[in-house]
Structures are given as C-alpha cells and as structure tokens.
Amino acid sequence: MVAPWRRIARWLQSFFRPKLHAADKLSRAGSVEGAIYPVAAKTEFIVFRRISATPSAWAKGDATKVQNLASSAFSADNTAVSVFRTDGAQQEALTLAALHLTTKQGVPSKLTGVRIAAAEVASCGVELRPSGGTTGVAAVDACHLDLHGTAEQFQSLTKLILDAQRQGDDRVRTVACEQVVHQIDDMLTLSAGSIDESARRNAERALAQKRSKKSESR
C-alpha cells in the first residue's frame, strides 16, 4: 500500500509540472531550463526558500538548532510562508536576485536559500498552495507558492532538511555577489511583459549603488 504522503507528493508533482512550461515562456532564454531539478533520487521536485539568518548552521546540518532555525526561516500557525518552485541552479540564482530587489538592501550581496523536497513538505503535514508572487519578475512570480503549517510541523520539516544536508544532500545554495549582479543586470534586458517598472527601477538602483560602492573602495 502506498503511504498517504507519497500519494500527495505524486499528485503535487503532476499538478505543478505543467506550470513550469508557463514560467519558461515568461523567462528569458537561459533563465529556466524547463526540467525538474532533483536534489536526490528520492525527490520529485523542490521548492526554494530564501534564508537570511545563520546560513552556516543550515550548511552544517546542525540538528541541535532545529527550533531556532525553524523559527527564523518559517512562519508558524498557518501564516503563509513564501517559497518558489525551482528547476535548476540558474533559476535559484534568478529567484534570489529578484527577492533581493524587494528588500531595502539595495547593494547586491551574497544570498542563501534552502532547497526543500516536495515529499518532505507532504510528510510533515505542511500545506503547499499555489499563489502569485510579487517580485515583479514574471518568470519568478509564476513559480511562487505558499507553505501553511504549525510551528511543530515546520520544526519537523526543518529537521528533515537538516538530516538530508548532513547525510550528503546539497540543500543549502549560496549565490555569490557577482552572480547576483549578473542576474540583476540580465533583468534589465527583459521585455516589459517580463518585468514590471518597479522591479526595473530597483534593479537599476541596485546596480548603481554597487558601482558607486566599487568606485569608493578604489
């Protein structure tokens, strides 16, 4: 008999796979490869969550910090947690760069995200709901979803992610500053239908601040 969480994971896979093609059409060539990006053979697809606190603890798979990491990375008690479907390293970089433009930290910097397997989400009882993103970059927003769960469920999810990281899965993705700058620079070549004016202005401002900072350091 197939376990309930496996049935849910298979349903999620079949439900979301066609949506990747929609994101493909919205993205510039090269930003989206159009194939499911496996973290390990047991995973069907992944979602991606940006983290800003204690990335080193995630990278080490530190099981002693499950509660603190869950609290810092995920909201609790059915508050929506923003995540994104990603299908490869380039789209992860694009997603992190687009999210960076929505913050007040204008100057691009090194960014980090956590890879989460769909089967893990389902097995912890966390709900995965489609929703529209608000970064202003169409290819990223088309892949946005919300996680809904309790503090206990997110702690269970965090433990699974840390266990997988500790056992050898590459669950923590860090994008270097230079890669972030490249993604933001590429955004400025997108057509009006692929990036809104607010995101374009933020991209221009971020690159201008980066150039200014670079000239000051000389």
Q: Into how many domains does the chain fold?
A: 1
Instruction: Check residue 6 and give its pLDDT.
Output: 54
Residues of the chain with pLDDT under 50: 8, 11-12, 14-44
128, 118 Cβ separation under 8 angstroms: yes
Instruction: Check residue 211 and give its pLDDT.
Output: 83
Q: Which of 97, 101, 88, 90 is nearest to 39 (CA)?
A: 88
- Identify the domain containing residue 190 by its residue range: 4-216
Instruction: Check residue 212 and give its pLDDT.
Output: 79
Residue 182, C-beta contacts closer than 8 angstroms, at least 6 positions apart: none
pTM (2 d.p.): 0.76
